[in-house]
Amino acid sequence: MKVTRPPALDISVITDDLVNEYLIGYRLKGTSYFHYDQLRHRITPPEKLDKLWEYLKLARLLSASWLSAKVWNEAMQQLVPPFVNNTATIQKSCSTVDRLASSAAEKERYERFDGAEYLMDELRAAESIASSQLEGAATTSRVALEMIKVGRQPRDESELMIMGNYRLMQYVSQRGLKKFDINEILALHRMAVEGIDDTKYTPGVLRQEEDDVAVVDHEGSVVHAPPPANVLPEALAHLCEFINLPHETANDENYLHPLVKACILHFFIGYLHPFRDGNGRTARALFYWYMLKCGYTAFRYISISKLLKNAPSQYVRAYLYTETDDMDLTYFVNYQCEIVSRAVREYIDYIQQIIETRARLKQWLYESGIYADLNGRQRDLAAIAIHQPGVLFTAAEISKRMKVSENTARDDLKKLTALGLLRRVKEGKGNVYLSPKSLREMKRWSHRTDSPRSTQDW
């Protein structure tokens, strides 16, 4: 079999010192995907910077994947297709979620510790809480978690935001493979914000021309003016077509890794800003739906908003870099992939801490002789308590979360209290049960008198 050899590359024609400087000083060192605004602080004089930018821009345009969806280009005053490039950060993040966030990885992981289902409920709520806090909810994570756990009615706008976001996240985790249309995007928004302040949010209704909607920074300066309201129906129609295309199974240039596509979906809603308020929550819910739809079940428990709210200016800047550079989505996707990788690693570290703590608890229960006094459900409850330091439990909550009667739940809590694994605290006319702050405190509680505690009258 004969194959025609390509002509040799004559590198002698590449004589510009700037190209060599770029290749040696930046590209071959794995330098980040810099925006012009970042490069201007690193390269002087301005003429040198502008020349380098020409080379960079041409290389990026030639290597890019162009998308079928369209976004509004303010400079051109029309909808244009955006593009995205691959980077080392994006590739590493895709590999991370493939290895650590798939349903197979999850199944193996949860077989290694007791009380997994209960504890995962705590993590399910984390994204709903953090996403709402990113949008301005003032409720603390602990108060919000207690509200969700016990099913208490929200008491103010912040709690209503969190509960609405929790409903939305529950929905997208169960939504499945149904195709998207504009009505479904409206439904996601309605589910997130309905009942908070309907005059302010107008649930499930696209913003109108008269709505004064803009993204502002902490000083009140406008950093993003969304596209005109009259282009939203067309732009969202393009987006829905893009959502429904099976990019993850394509065998050609249309292939997109699910993580890359999920980040792109996140960007589109945030950039188009189709609603008066609640756009960020809707955008992140769409991200989660797509990751779960593609089999990355760990994203039921992984919170990206916890990290985004720690550096909101970087989140906004990722949007601005894309918007100011001809809709090059690489800036936003690259930043989001960094966030996702960190969130996955934090999740894995958290699970590992659970496993290690459970092992120490189990060993101590055996050595102390307590293990034989507990049934499997009570051991699970002790394991849950040790990993939720200083948290109050109620019989009603345990009944609901562990699917037993309230009397059985109350008996379990009383027995663990009699053995010194929990402490009873009076609240109103009833009792709640406090978990220890550490295994060391649990040991101290269980041996805090000279005589071993009896369970005869629990």
Place of tokens 């009873």: 424
- Rounded to 5°, the CA angle 12-13-15 comes to 85
Cα–Cα dist 136/309, whole Å: 10
R_g over Cα of the chain: 27
Cα–Cα dist 72/184, whole Å: 21
Cα–Cα dist 201/219, whole Å: 23
Cα–Cα dist 202/186, whole Å: 11
Characterize 382-395 residue by residue with b for buried, 16 or more Cβ atoms within 10 angstroms of its Cβ, and e for exposed. bbbbbbbeebbbbb
Cα–Cα dist 2/192, whole Å: 62
Angstrom CA distances, 11 to 15, 24, 60, 139, stand at 8, 15, 20, 61
Q: Which residues are annotated as a binding site for ATP?
A: 215-224, 277-284
257 given a catalytic annotation: no
Candidates 189, 273, 387, 447; catalytic one: 273
List Cβ neighbours of 92 (8 Å cut-off, separation of 6 or more): 337, 341
Q: Which residues are annotated as a binding site?
A: 215-224, 277-284
So which residues are the catalytic ones? 273
